[in-house]
Structure 1
Protein backbone atom coordinates (compact mmCIF):
# COMPACT_ATOMS: atom_id res chain seq x y z
CA UNK A 1 0.00 0.00 0.00
CA UNK A 2 1.17 3.59 -0.57
CA UNK A 3 2.42 5.18 2.64
CA UNK A 4 1.49 8.72 3.64
CA UNK A 5 3.74 10.78 5.88
CA UNK A 6 3.13 14.20 7.40
CA UNK A 7 4.36 15.99 4.29
CA UNK A 8 1.29 15.14 2.19
CA UNK A 9 -0.96 18.07 1.30
CA UNK A 10 -3.25 19.28 -1.46
CA UNK A 11 -1.12 21.95 -3.06
CA UNK A 12 -3.10 23.58 -5.86
CA UNK A 13 -6.00 23.67 -8.27
CA UNK A 14 -5.39 24.59 -11.92
CA UNK A 15 -7.78 26.67 -14.01
CA UNK A 16 -7.16 27.81 -17.57
CA UNK A 17 -7.63 31.52 -18.20
CA UNK A 18 -7.94 33.71 -21.26
CA UNK A 19 -6.12 36.88 -20.21
CA UNK A 20 -3.76 37.11 -17.22
CA UNK A 21 -3.94 40.90 -17.31
CA UNK A 22 -7.60 40.51 -16.38
CA UNK A 23 -7.60 37.39 -14.19
CA UNK A 24 -4.64 38.14 -11.93
CA UNK A 25 -5.89 41.58 -10.79
CA UNK A 26 -9.34 40.08 -10.33
CA UNK A 27 -8.06 37.58 -7.77
CA UNK A 28 -5.47 39.79 -6.10
CA UNK A 29 -7.54 42.97 -5.81
CA UNK A 30 -10.96 41.47 -5.12
CA UNK A 31 -10.08 38.37 -3.10
CA UNK A 32 -6.72 39.20 -1.58
CA UNK A 33 -4.67 36.50 -3.28
CA UNK A 34 -0.97 37.21 -3.71
CA UNK A 35 0.95 36.30 -6.86
CA UNK A 36 3.44 33.84 -5.35
CA UNK A 37 5.34 32.65 -8.45
CA UNK A 38 5.26 32.89 -12.23
CA UNK A 39 6.65 30.13 -14.45
CA UNK A 40 6.94 30.90 -18.16
CA UNK A 41 7.33 28.12 -20.69
CA UNK A 42 7.49 28.21 -24.49
CA UNK A 43 3.75 28.07 -25.17
CA UNK A 44 2.15 28.79 -21.79
CA UNK A 45 2.68 30.53 -18.47
CA UNK A 46 1.63 29.38 -15.00
CA UNK A 47 0.68 31.95 -12.38
CA UNK A 48 0.65 30.70 -8.78
CA UNK A 49 -1.56 32.62 -6.36
CA UNK A 50 -2.20 32.06 -2.68
CA UNK A 51 -2.87 33.66 0.70
CA UNK A 52 0.32 34.60 2.50
CA UNK A 53 0.68 34.01 6.24
CA UNK A 54 3.55 34.09 8.70
CA UNK A 55 3.53 30.28 8.64
CA UNK A 56 3.74 29.82 4.87
CA UNK A 57 5.54 32.86 3.46
CA UNK A 58 8.96 31.22 3.76
CA UNK A 59 7.84 27.97 2.12
CA UNK A 60 8.28 27.05 -1.51
CA UNK A 61 4.99 27.40 -3.40
CA UNK A 62 4.73 23.62 -3.81
CA UNK A 63 5.18 22.95 -0.08
CA UNK A 64 1.98 24.70 1.01
CA UNK A 65 -1.75 24.15 0.51
CA UNK A 66 -4.19 26.67 -0.93
CA UNK A 67 -2.48 27.58 -4.20
CA UNK A 68 -4.56 28.61 -7.23
CA UNK A 69 -2.71 27.91 -10.49
CA UNK A 70 -3.88 29.98 -13.44
CA UNK A 71 -2.72 28.55 -16.77
CA UNK A 72 -2.48 30.93 -19.72
CA UNK A 73 -1.85 29.53 -23.19
CA UNK A 74 0.01 32.26 -25.07
CA UNK A 75 -2.03 34.16 -27.63
CA UNK A 76 -5.54 33.11 -26.60
CA UNK A 77 -6.15 36.58 -25.18
CA UNK A 78 -6.14 37.86 -28.77
CA UNK A 79 -8.50 35.17 -30.11
CA UNK A 80 -12.12 36.40 -30.12
CA UNK A 81 -13.31 32.80 -30.61
CA UNK A 82 -11.48 31.39 -27.59
CA UNK A 83 -13.84 30.11 -24.91
CA UNK A 84 -13.49 28.26 -21.62
CA UNK A 85 -15.82 25.75 -19.96
CA UNK A 86 -16.77 26.71 -16.40
CA UNK A 87 -18.24 23.24 -15.84
CA UNK A 88 -21.79 24.22 -14.86
CA UNK A 89 -23.56 24.41 -18.21
CA UNK A 90 -26.11 21.98 -19.54
CA UNK A 91 -23.36 20.17 -21.45
CA UNK A 92 -19.88 19.03 -20.39
CA UNK A 93 -20.57 19.44 -16.67
CA UNK A 94 -17.94 18.29 -14.21
CA UNK A 95 -15.92 20.83 -12.26
CA UNK A 96 -18.23 22.96 -10.17
CA UNK A 97 -16.42 25.73 -8.30
CA UNK A 98 -13.63 26.85 -6.07
CA UNK A 99 -14.46 28.18 -2.60
CA UNK A 100 -13.03 31.09 -0.64
CA UNK A 101 -14.05 31.37 3.00
CA UNK A 102 -14.23 34.90 4.40
CA UNK A 103 -14.52 36.54 7.80
CA UNK A 104 -17.73 38.50 7.19
CA UNK A 105 -19.68 37.28 4.18
CA UNK A 106 -22.21 40.11 4.07
CA UNK A 107 -19.51 42.75 3.96
CA UNK A 108 -17.39 40.73 1.53
CA UNK A 109 -20.33 40.41 -0.87
CA UNK A 110 -21.08 44.14 -0.58
CA UNK A 111 -17.48 45.05 -1.36
CA UNK A 112 -17.36 42.72 -4.37
CA UNK A 113 -20.60 44.13 -5.75
CA UNK A 114 -19.19 47.65 -5.34
CA UNK A 115 -16.27 46.55 -7.53
CA UNK A 116 -18.71 45.31 -10.20
CA UNK A 117 -17.94 41.63 -9.60
CA UNK A 118 -20.72 39.56 -11.13
CA UNK A 119 -22.61 36.98 -9.09
CA UNK A 120 -24.23 33.69 -10.03
CA UNK A 121 -26.01 33.73 -6.65
CA UNK A 122 -26.18 36.51 -4.08
CA UNK A 123 -26.86 35.87 -0.40
CA UNK A 124 -30.43 37.06 -0.86
CA UNK A 125 -31.12 34.62 -3.73
CA UNK A 126 -32.64 31.19 -3.16
CA UNK A 127 -33.09 29.29 0.07
CA UNK A 128 -29.49 29.19 1.28
CA UNK A 129 -28.84 32.65 2.72
CA UNK A 130 -25.38 31.80 4.07
CA UNK A 131 -23.55 31.15 0.78
CA UNK A 132 -22.99 33.14 -2.39
CA UNK A 133 -21.35 32.46 -5.75
CA UNK A 134 -19.28 35.11 -7.49
CA UNK A 135 -18.10 34.78 -11.08
CA UNK A 136 -14.54 35.31 -12.24
CA UNK A 137 -13.69 36.85 -15.65
CA UNK A 138 -13.77 33.42 -17.34
CA UNK A 139 -17.11 32.42 -15.84
CA UNK A 140 -15.74 30.11 -13.12
CA UNK A 141 -17.88 30.01 -9.99
CA UNK A 142 -16.33 31.12 -6.69
CA UNK A 143 -18.31 30.03 -3.66
CA UNK A 144 -18.24 32.36 -0.66
CA UNK A 145 -18.75 30.92 2.83
CA UNK A 146 -18.16 32.61 6.17
CA UNK A 147 -15.32 31.34 8.36
CA UNK A 148 -15.86 34.01 11.02
CA UNK A 149 -12.13 34.44 11.73
CA UNK A 150 -11.78 37.60 13.87
CA UNK A 151 -15.11 38.78 12.50
CA UNK A 152 -15.95 42.43 13.02
CA UNK A 153 -19.06 44.40 12.19
CA UNK A 154 -19.14 46.42 8.97
CA UNK A 155 -15.67 45.35 7.84
CA UNK A 156 -13.90 42.48 6.09
CA UNK A 157 -10.20 41.69 6.38
CA UNK A 158 -8.78 39.74 3.45
CA UNK A 159 -6.00 38.45 5.70
CA UNK A 160 -8.63 36.06 7.08
CA UNK A 161 -9.60 34.66 3.66
CA UNK A 162 -8.84 31.01 2.85
CA UNK A 163 -8.81 29.11 -0.46
CA UNK A 164 -10.86 26.39 1.15
CA UNK A 165 -11.93 23.83 -1.45
CA UNK A 166 -12.43 22.72 -5.03
CA UNK A 167 -15.67 21.02 -6.04
CA UNK A 168 -15.96 18.32 -8.71
CA UNK A 169 -18.94 16.10 -9.53
CA UNK A 170 -18.48 12.33 -9.33
CA UNK A 171 -20.47 9.43 -10.73
CA UNK A 172 -19.89 6.77 -8.06
CA UNK A 173 -18.90 7.98 -4.57
CA UNK A 174 -17.72 4.55 -3.45
CA UNK A 175 -15.13 4.43 -6.21
CA UNK A 176 -14.14 8.07 -5.74
CA UNK A 177 -13.80 7.84 -1.96
CA UNK A 178 -11.69 4.71 -2.32
CA UNK A 179 -9.37 6.51 -4.75
CA UNK A 180 -8.92 9.71 -2.78
CA UNK A 181 -8.59 7.96 0.58
CA UNK A 182 -6.60 4.84 -0.26
CA UNK A 183 -4.59 5.82 -3.35
CA UNK A 184 -3.90 9.48 -2.50
CA UNK A 185 -4.16 9.48 1.30
CA UNK A 186 -6.95 11.99 1.89
CA UNK A 187 -9.21 11.68 4.95
CA UNK A 188 -12.98 12.04 4.80
CA UNK A 189 -13.58 15.22 6.79
CA UNK A 190 -17.37 15.45 6.61
CA UNK A 191 -20.46 14.40 4.67
CA UNK A 192 -23.56 16.49 3.97
CA UNK A 193 -26.72 14.89 2.57
CA UNK A 194 -29.54 16.79 0.90
CA UNK A 195 -32.40 14.29 0.46
CA UNK A 196 -34.84 16.86 -0.88
CA UNK A 197 -32.47 17.67 -3.74
CA UNK A 198 -31.04 14.14 -3.97
CA UNK A 199 -27.35 14.83 -3.70
CA UNK A 200 -24.53 14.29 -1.21
CA UNK A 201 -21.35 16.27 -0.60
CA UNK A 202 -18.16 14.59 0.58
CA UNK A 203 -15.32 16.81 1.85
CA UNK A 204 -11.81 15.34 1.90
CA UNK A 205 -8.49 16.76 3.03
CA UNK A 206 -5.18 15.72 4.51
CA UNK A 207 -5.12 15.11 8.26
CA UNK A 208 -2.03 13.62 9.89
CA UNK A 209 -3.19 13.31 13.49
CA UNK A 210 -3.28 9.51 14.13
CA UNK A 211 -6.19 9.99 16.55
CA UNK A 212 -8.32 11.85 13.98
CA UNK A 213 -11.81 10.37 13.49
CA UNK A 214 -12.96 10.55 9.89
CA UNK A 215 -16.28 12.16 8.97
CA UNK A 216 -16.30 14.16 12.22
CA UNK A 217 -15.14 17.62 11.15
CA UNK A 218 -17.22 20.55 12.41
CA UNK A 219 -18.15 23.25 9.91
CA UNK A 220 -16.11 25.97 11.67
CA UNK A 221 -12.97 23.84 11.66
CA UNK A 222 -13.55 22.81 8.06
CA UNK A 223 -13.95 26.44 6.97
CA UNK A 224 -10.59 27.31 8.55
CA UNK A 225 -8.78 24.83 6.29
CA UNK A 226 -7.18 25.11 2.88
CA UNK A 227 -6.62 22.27 0.40
CA UNK A 228 -9.96 20.43 0.50
CA UNK A 229 -11.66 18.49 -2.29
CA UNK A 230 -15.46 18.48 -2.37
CA UNK A 231 -16.99 15.54 -4.22
CA UNK A 232 -20.61 16.12 -5.27
CA UNK A 233 -22.69 13.01 -5.96
CA UNK A 234 -26.07 13.40 -7.63
CA UNK A 235 -28.01 10.35 -6.56
CA UNK A 236 -28.55 7.63 -9.14
CA UNK A 237 -25.72 8.42 -11.54
CA UNK A 238 -23.76 5.39 -10.35
CA UNK A 239 -26.52 3.01 -11.55
CA UNK A 240 -27.90 4.93 -14.54
CA UNK A 241 -26.90 3.18 -17.80
CA UNK A 242 -27.81 6.34 -19.74
CA UNK A 243 -25.48 8.57 -17.73
CA UNK A 244 -22.43 9.36 -19.89
CA UNK A 245 -20.21 10.67 -17.12
CA UNK A 246 -18.73 14.07 -16.32
CA UNK A 247 -16.34 16.20 -18.32
CA UNK A 248 -12.85 16.17 -16.79
CA UNK A 249 -12.01 19.71 -17.91
CA UNK A 250 -9.27 18.60 -20.30
CA UNK A 251 -10.99 16.55 -23.00
CA UNK A 252 -11.95 18.12 -26.33
CA UNK A 253 -13.86 15.07 -27.61
CA UNK A 254 -17.36 15.52 -29.05
CA UNK A 255 -17.00 19.29 -29.15
CA UNK A 256 -16.07 19.71 -25.49
CA UNK A 257 -14.29 22.87 -24.38
CA UNK A 258 -11.49 22.87 -21.83
CA UNK A 259 -11.46 24.85 -18.60
CA UNK A 260 -10.62 23.23 -15.28
CA UNK A 261 -7.26 21.47 -15.35
CA UNK A 262 -6.45 19.47 -12.21
CA UNK A 263 -5.86 19.32 -8.50
CA UNK A 264 -2.45 18.49 -7.06
CA UNK A 265 -0.99 16.39 -4.24
CA UNK A 266 2.43 17.41 -2.96
CA UNK A 267 4.79 15.47 -0.69
CA UNK A 268 8.50 15.31 0.15
CA UNK A 269 9.22 12.11 -1.80
CA UNK A 270 6.87 11.97 -4.82
CA UNK A 271 9.09 9.52 -6.74
CA UNK A 272 8.69 6.88 -4.03
CA UNK A 273 4.98 7.64 -3.71
CA UNK A 274 4.41 7.10 -7.45
CA UNK A 275 6.42 3.89 -7.33
CA UNK A 276 4.28 2.62 -4.45
CA UNK A 277 1.09 3.34 -6.42
CA UNK A 278 2.44 1.40 -9.40
CA UNK A 279 3.49 -1.54 -7.22
CA UNK A 280 0.14 -1.69 -5.45
CA UNK A 281 -2.29 -1.02 -8.31
CA UNK A 282 -0.36 -1.93 -11.47
CA UNK A 283 -2.45 -1.46 -14.61
CA UNK A 284 -5.44 -0.32 -12.53
CA UNK A 285 -3.68 2.98 -11.91
CA UNK A 286 -4.71 5.38 -14.70
CA UNK A 287 -1.62 7.49 -15.37
CA UNK A 288 -1.85 10.26 -17.94
CA UNK A 289 1.82 11.00 -17.23
CA UNK A 290 4.10 8.72 -15.26
CA UNK A 291 6.70 10.10 -12.91
CA UNK A 292 9.46 12.17 -14.54
CA UNK A 293 8.48 11.21 -18.10
CA UNK A 294 7.08 14.52 -19.37
CA UNK A 295 8.61 17.68 -20.78
CA UNK A 296 8.43 19.15 -17.28
CA UNK A 297 10.44 16.80 -15.07
CA UNK A 298 9.76 15.61 -11.52
CA UNK A 299 5.96 15.51 -11.84
CA UNK A 300 3.28 12.92 -12.61
CA UNK A 301 -0.43 12.96 -13.40
CA UNK A 302 -2.90 10.26 -12.36
CA UNK A 303 -6.62 10.16 -13.21
CA UNK A 304 -9.36 9.55 -10.68
CA UNK A 305 -12.35 7.25 -11.46
CA UNK A 306 -14.14 10.06 -13.32
CA UNK A 307 -11.10 11.00 -15.39
CA UNK A 308 -10.17 14.14 -13.44
CA UNK A 309 -6.40 14.68 -13.35
CA UNK A 310 -4.42 14.86 -10.12
CA UNK A 311 -0.85 16.11 -10.35
CA UNK A 312 1.79 14.65 -8.03
CA UNK A 313 4.91 16.67 -7.27
CA UNK A 314 7.48 17.45 -4.57
CA UNK A 315 7.88 20.29 -2.10
CA UNK A 316 10.96 21.56 -3.91
CA UNK A 317 9.65 21.81 -7.49
CA UNK A 318 11.04 24.92 -9.25
CA UNK A 319 12.48 26.06 -5.92
CA UNK A 320 15.47 27.58 -7.72
CA UNK A 321 13.36 29.65 -10.15
Structure 2
Protein backbone atom coordinates (compact mmCIF):
# COMPACT_ATOMS: atom_id res chain seq x y z
CA UNK A 1 0.00 0.00 0.00
CA UNK A 2 2.57 2.56 1.02
CA UNK A 3 4.68 1.99 -2.09
CA UNK A 4 1.66 2.87 -4.23
CA UNK A 5 0.96 5.90 -2.07
CA UNK A 6 4.54 7.10 -2.46
CA UNK A 7 4.24 6.81 -6.23
CA UNK A 8 1.24 9.12 -6.21
CA UNK A 9 2.95 11.55 -3.87
CA UNK A 10 6.00 11.77 -6.08
CA UNK A 11 3.90 12.17 -9.20
CA UNK A 12 5.31 9.08 -10.86
CA UNK A 13 3.74 6.02 -12.42
CA UNK A 14 3.52 2.68 -10.72
CA UNK A 15 6.06 -0.06 -11.28
CA UNK A 16 3.76 -1.85 -13.67
CA UNK A 17 3.34 1.25 -15.80
CA UNK A 18 7.08 1.23 -16.45
CA UNK A 19 7.13 -2.36 -17.59
CA UNK A 20 5.38 -4.14 -20.41
CA UNK A 21 3.31 -7.17 -19.63
CA UNK A 22 5.33 -10.36 -19.56
CA UNK A 23 4.57 -12.81 -22.33
CA UNK A 24 1.54 -14.85 -21.20
CA UNK A 25 2.43 -18.36 -20.07
CA UNK A 26 1.24 -21.31 -22.13
CA UNK A 27 -0.28 -24.32 -20.38
CA UNK A 28 -0.83 -27.07 -22.94
CA UNK A 29 -3.09 -25.59 -25.61
CA UNK A 30 -4.43 -22.88 -23.30
CA UNK A 31 -2.98 -19.38 -23.44
CA UNK A 32 -3.79 -17.27 -20.40
CA UNK A 33 -4.61 -13.66 -21.21
CA UNK A 34 -2.63 -10.86 -19.51
CA UNK A 35 -5.96 -9.36 -18.42
CA UNK A 36 -6.46 -12.42 -16.26
CA UNK A 37 -3.72 -11.28 -13.90
CA UNK A 38 -3.30 -7.60 -14.81
CA UNK A 39 -3.48 -5.17 -11.89
CA UNK A 40 -2.70 -1.96 -13.77
CA UNK A 41 -6.19 -0.53 -13.30
CA UNK A 42 -6.55 -1.43 -9.64
CA UNK A 43 -4.94 -3.65 -7.07
CA UNK A 44 -6.30 -6.89 -5.68
CA UNK A 45 -9.82 -6.80 -4.33
CA UNK A 46 -10.28 -7.60 -0.66
CA UNK A 47 -11.68 -10.97 -1.67
CA UNK A 48 -8.77 -11.75 -3.98
CA UNK A 49 -6.25 -10.74 -1.33
CA UNK A 50 -7.95 -12.95 1.25
CA UNK A 51 -8.09 -15.81 -1.25
CA UNK A 52 -4.37 -15.51 -1.97
CA UNK A 53 -3.53 -16.00 1.71
CA UNK A 54 -3.28 -19.57 2.94
CA UNK A 55 -3.07 -21.09 6.40
CA UNK A 56 0.52 -21.73 7.43
CA UNK A 57 1.89 -24.89 8.94
CA UNK A 58 1.14 -25.05 12.69
CA UNK A 59 4.85 -24.77 13.51
CA UNK A 60 4.84 -21.22 12.09
CA UNK A 61 2.75 -20.08 15.05
CA UNK A 62 6.03 -19.67 16.93
CA UNK A 63 7.77 -17.74 14.12
CA UNK A 64 8.57 -14.05 14.63
CA UNK A 65 9.62 -11.11 12.45
CA UNK A 66 13.03 -10.59 14.04
CA UNK A 67 15.26 -8.42 11.86
CA UNK A 68 15.70 -6.31 8.75
CA UNK A 69 19.25 -6.08 7.40
CA UNK A 70 20.66 -2.93 5.83
CA UNK A 71 24.18 -2.64 4.42
CA UNK A 72 25.87 0.54 5.60
CA UNK A 73 28.94 2.33 4.29
CA UNK A 74 30.15 3.96 7.51
CA UNK A 75 29.10 2.34 10.81
CA UNK A 76 30.11 5.39 12.86
CA UNK A 77 27.63 7.60 10.99
CA UNK A 78 24.94 4.92 10.99
CA UNK A 79 25.25 4.09 14.68
CA UNK A 80 25.07 7.79 15.54
CA UNK A 81 21.93 8.18 13.44
CA UNK A 82 20.05 5.16 14.75
CA UNK A 83 20.92 5.83 18.40
CA UNK A 84 21.11 9.63 18.77
CA UNK A 85 18.54 10.57 16.12
CA UNK A 86 16.09 7.66 16.32
CA UNK A 87 16.73 6.68 19.94
CA UNK A 88 17.50 3.01 19.38
CA UNK A 89 19.84 0.97 21.55
CA UNK A 90 22.82 -1.04 20.29
CA UNK A 91 21.89 -4.56 21.35
CA UNK A 92 24.99 -6.37 20.14
CA UNK A 93 27.99 -6.09 17.82
CA UNK A 94 29.25 -9.26 16.16
CA UNK A 95 32.49 -9.38 14.17
CA UNK A 96 33.47 -11.88 11.49
CA UNK A 97 37.22 -11.25 11.02
CA UNK A 98 37.78 -14.02 8.49
CA UNK A 99 35.11 -12.54 6.22
CA UNK A 100 35.90 -8.90 7.01
CA UNK A 101 32.49 -7.69 8.11
CA UNK A 102 30.62 -6.74 11.28
CA UNK A 103 26.97 -6.81 12.30
CA UNK A 104 25.30 -4.25 14.55
CA UNK A 105 21.89 -5.07 15.98
CA UNK A 106 19.72 -2.20 17.18
CA UNK A 107 16.22 -1.91 18.56
CA UNK A 108 13.99 -0.23 21.08
CA UNK A 109 15.12 -2.05 24.20
CA UNK A 110 16.32 -0.87 27.60
CA UNK A 111 20.09 -1.03 28.13
CA UNK A 112 19.57 -2.46 31.60
CA UNK A 113 17.88 -5.52 30.08
CA UNK A 114 20.89 -6.49 27.95
CA UNK A 115 22.61 -9.58 29.45
CA UNK A 116 26.26 -9.17 30.42
CA UNK A 117 27.25 -12.70 29.40
CA UNK A 118 28.13 -12.83 25.69
CA UNK A 119 26.29 -16.08 24.97
CA UNK A 120 23.21 -14.96 26.86
CA UNK A 121 23.36 -11.60 25.10
CA UNK A 122 23.47 -13.31 21.70
CA UNK A 123 20.46 -15.48 22.46
CA UNK A 124 18.62 -12.47 23.89
CA UNK A 125 19.43 -10.27 20.88
CA UNK A 126 18.11 -12.81 18.41
CA UNK A 127 14.89 -13.17 20.41
CA UNK A 128 14.02 -9.46 20.19
CA UNK A 129 11.27 -8.55 17.69
CA UNK A 130 11.70 -5.98 14.92
CA UNK A 131 15.41 -5.24 15.17
CA UNK A 132 17.62 -3.51 12.61
CA UNK A 133 20.75 -5.36 11.54
CA UNK A 134 23.36 -3.01 10.11
CA UNK A 135 26.01 -4.83 8.08
CA UNK A 136 29.39 -3.16 7.57
CA UNK A 137 31.82 -4.63 5.08
CA UNK A 138 35.21 -3.50 6.34
CA UNK A 139 36.81 -0.78 4.26
CA UNK A 140 33.60 0.45 2.62
CA UNK A 141 33.78 3.67 4.65
CA UNK A 142 36.85 4.80 2.69
CA UNK A 143 35.77 3.44 -0.69
CA UNK A 144 34.49 6.42 -2.70
CA UNK A 145 32.90 4.10 -5.26
CA UNK A 146 30.79 2.24 -2.70
CA UNK A 147 27.19 3.45 -2.70
CA UNK A 148 24.27 1.29 -1.60
CA UNK A 149 21.00 1.33 -3.55
CA UNK A 150 18.03 2.29 -1.35
CA UNK A 151 15.47 0.65 -3.63
CA UNK A 152 13.51 3.80 -4.42
CA UNK A 153 14.96 4.58 -7.83
CA UNK A 154 15.12 2.29 -10.83
CA UNK A 155 15.42 -0.62 -10.58
CA UNK A 156 13.06 -0.26 -7.63
CA UNK A 157 12.74 -2.94 -4.97
CA UNK A 158 13.13 -2.40 -1.23
CA UNK A 159 11.14 0.62 -0.07
CA UNK A 160 11.54 1.60 3.57
CA UNK A 161 11.31 0.68 7.21
CA UNK A 162 8.68 2.34 9.38
CA UNK A 163 8.74 3.86 12.86
CA UNK A 164 5.63 4.51 14.93
CA UNK A 165 5.84 7.66 17.06
CA UNK A 166 3.35 9.35 19.41
CA UNK A 167 3.32 12.61 17.40
CA UNK A 168 4.70 12.86 13.86
CA UNK A 169 4.96 16.66 13.98
CA UNK A 170 6.90 16.67 17.25
CA UNK A 171 9.25 13.97 15.97
CA UNK A 172 9.82 15.78 12.67
CA UNK A 173 10.51 19.07 14.43
CA UNK A 174 13.28 17.29 16.33
CA UNK A 175 14.58 15.73 13.12
CA UNK A 176 14.69 19.13 11.42
CA UNK A 177 16.65 20.58 14.32
CA UNK A 178 19.10 17.69 14.01
CA UNK A 179 19.61 18.24 10.29
CA UNK A 180 17.95 15.04 9.11
CA UNK A 181 17.25 14.73 5.37
CA UNK A 182 13.53 14.58 4.53
CA UNK A 183 11.96 12.79 1.57
CA UNK A 184 8.51 13.99 2.61
CA UNK A 185 7.56 16.30 5.46
CA UNK A 186 4.27 15.78 7.32
CA UNK A 187 2.32 18.43 5.40
CA UNK A 188 3.75 17.68 1.95
CA UNK A 189 1.48 16.10 -0.65
CA UNK A 190 -2.08 14.92 -0.10
CA UNK A 191 -1.36 12.66 2.84
CA UNK A 192 -0.94 14.86 5.89
CA UNK A 193 0.62 13.64 9.10
CA UNK A 194 2.98 11.16 7.46
CA UNK A 195 6.70 11.72 6.86
CA UNK A 196 9.71 10.03 5.30
CA UNK A 197 13.32 10.69 6.27
CA UNK A 198 16.63 9.23 5.11
CA UNK A 199 19.46 7.63 7.05
CA UNK A 200 23.15 8.29 6.18
CA UNK A 201 23.04 5.72 3.36
CA UNK A 202 19.85 7.12 1.87
CA UNK A 203 17.50 4.39 3.11
CA UNK A 204 13.96 5.71 3.61
CA UNK A 205 12.30 5.62 7.02
CA UNK A 206 8.58 6.21 7.34
CA UNK A 207 7.50 8.21 10.39
CA UNK A 208 3.91 7.48 11.35
CA UNK A 209 1.52 7.80 14.25
CA UNK A 210 -0.85 4.84 14.74
CA UNK A 211 -3.70 7.19 15.66
CA UNK A 212 -3.40 8.99 12.30
CA UNK A 213 -3.29 5.93 10.09
CA UNK A 214 -7.05 5.32 9.94
CA UNK A 215 -7.73 8.67 8.30
CA UNK A 216 -4.59 8.54 6.15
CA UNK A 217 -5.27 5.08 4.74
CA UNK A 218 -8.88 5.92 3.85
CA UNK A 219 -7.96 9.01 1.83
CA UNK A 220 -8.33 8.74 -1.92
TM-score, length of structure 2 as denominator length:
0.69
Give the Cα separation in 1 of the matches to 2:7 and 2:2. 16
The 1:245/1:200 distance shift into structure 2, 3 A limit, reads same
Cα drift, residue 240 of structure 1: 2.0
> Displacement, 1:202?
0.5
Aligned match of 2:112: 211
Residue matched to 2:99: 197
Kindly indicate whether the alpha-carbon contact (under 8 Å) linking 2:140 and 2:146 is maintained by their aligned counterparts in 1: no
Structure 1, 193-202 or 268-277: larger mean CA deviation: 268-277
The TM-score, its normalising length taken from structure 1, stands at 0.49
**SS of equivalent residue, structure 1 residue 179:** helix
| Gap change, CA 1:80 and 1:319, over 3 Å in 2 | same
Q: How does 1:72-111 map to 2 (within 5 A)?
A: 79-80=21-22
Using a 3 Å threshold, how does the CA distance of structure 1 residues 286 and 219 change in structure 2: closer, same or farther? Answer: same
Question: C-alpha separation between the residues in 2 aligned to 1:78 and 1:309?
Answer: 27
Give the structure with the larger strand fraction: 1
Structure number with higher helix proportion: 2
Q: Distance in 2 between matches of 1:316 and 1:169?
A: 32
Q: Following the alignment from structure 1 to structure 2, what is the Cα–Cα distance between the partners of residues 274 and 214?
A: 33
Q: RMSD value over aligned CA atoms? A: 3.1
Matched, 1:291 2:186: yes
In the superposition, relative to structure 1, how do residues 295 and 192 fare at CA in structure 2: closer, same or farther (>3 Å)? Answer: same
- Matched with 2:40 is none
CA distance in 1, matches of 2:67, 2:212: 22
State whether residues 15 and 259 of structure 1, in contact with CA within 8 Å, keep that contact through their aligned partners in structure 2: no
1:120-146 deviation per Cα after TM superposition (whole angstroms, max 9, x unaligned)? xxxxxxxxxxxxxxxxxxxxxxxxxxx
| Structure of greater relative contact order (alpha carbons < 8 Å, 6+ residues apart) | 1
Q: Distance in 2 between matches of 1:228 and 1:183?
A: 16
Matches within 5 A, 1:34-53: none
Structure ID, larger Rg: 2
d(CA) in 1 for partners of 2:186 and 2:157? 24
The corresponding residue for 1:247 is 149
Query: For the residues of structure 1 that align with 2:207 and 2:165, how far apart are their CA atoms?
Result: 8
Question: Aligned pair count?
Answer: 176
**Gap regions ≥5 residues in structure 2:** 9-13, 24-56
Partners of 2:73 and 2:146 within 8 A in 1: no
Query: 5+ unaligned residues in a row in structure 1: which ranges?
Result: 1-13, 17-39, 45-71, 82-154
